[in-house]
Structure 1
Amino acid sequence: MANEIKRIGVGARMSEAVCCNGIVWLAGQVGNPGDSVEAQTRTCLAEVDRILAEAGTDKTRILSTQIWLADISTFAEMNKVWDAWVPAGHTPARATGEAKLATPDYKVEVIVTAALK
């Protein structure tokens, strides 16, 4: 069925991801509270990899990414990790902004939309 909805990591408040019509939308991924921006970014991106694999796709199929930083002055620290992770030739459309996150211990949140294989 073309409009079938598949939910991954279903919880009481939200799912880790939702797949429909060849697209997967991931919930915002955060790192370990209190870790550095670089460490939190690595954790976020590892979770993105894990969830995309569970959905049946990978980071070469990412269409768009939103990255929220608690402090935009950490942009270069986050990008250091991002640039090493994102596959050359497969960079998605991306926006990065500053936002107050769910807790002051979170420094970065990554939200991804990808095409399924």
Structure 2
Amino acid sequence: MSEIKRIEVGARMSEAVIHNGTIYLAGQIGTPGKSVAEQTQECLAEVDRLLALAGSDKTRILKAQIWLADIASDFPAMNGVWDAWVPAGHTPARATGQALLATPEHKVEIIITAAL
């Protein structure tokens, strides 16, 4: 059996799980009530931190799933932060959709799958 490593294990979920050279991050959210740009910056900073704990970095991201509470209003601002953060030549496969998030004050949630 191949090993499963869990990072920052909680009662409900782990912040990251590593299996067969792939890192699966839990959905990352920002501080409720902040702008979508600020929440996106916070999400991506947490992605950076968790990938470093796992022994990887954002150049190794395979897939990103991004959920916005209001895609019509917030897509451009979120993309502005994303585009400044993702390294040129290392853009992952990505999907962005609209969803009800944990609270009405949450504007974005980002889920990442990356390689070691």
TM-score class normalised by the smaller sequence: over 0.9
Q: Which amino acid aligns with 2:63?
A: S
Q: d(CA) in 2 for partners of 1:15 and 1:105? A: 23
Q: Deviations over 1:29-62 (max 9, x none)?
A: 0000100000000000000000000000000000
Q: Does 1:63 align with 2:52?
A: no
TM-score by length of structure 1 reads 0.97
SS in 2 for 1:68: strand
Q: Secondary structure at 2:7's aligned position in 1?
A: strand
TM-score, reference length from structure 2: 0.98
Alignment of 1:14-93 (within 5 A): 14-73=13-72, 74-93=74-93
- SS, match of residue 97 in structure 1: strand
Identity %: 73
**Tell me, which stretches of 5 or more residues in structure 1 are unaligned?**
none
Q: Return the offset for 1:105.
A: 1.0
4+ residue segments displaced more than 2 Å:
none
Deviations 1:56-100 (A, max 9, x none): 000000000000000002100000000000000000000000000
RMSD: 0.7
Distance in structure 1 (CA, Å) of the matches to 2:2 and 2:91: 28
The residue type equivalent to 2:76 in the other structure is A
Report the 3-state secondary structure (helix = DSSP H, G, I; strand = E; otherwise coil) of the residue aligned with 2:102. Answer: coil
Aligned to 1:8, what secondary structure does the other structure show? strand
Match of residue 3 from structure 1: 2
Q: Matched residue of 1:105: which SS? A: coil
Match of 1:105 in 2: 105
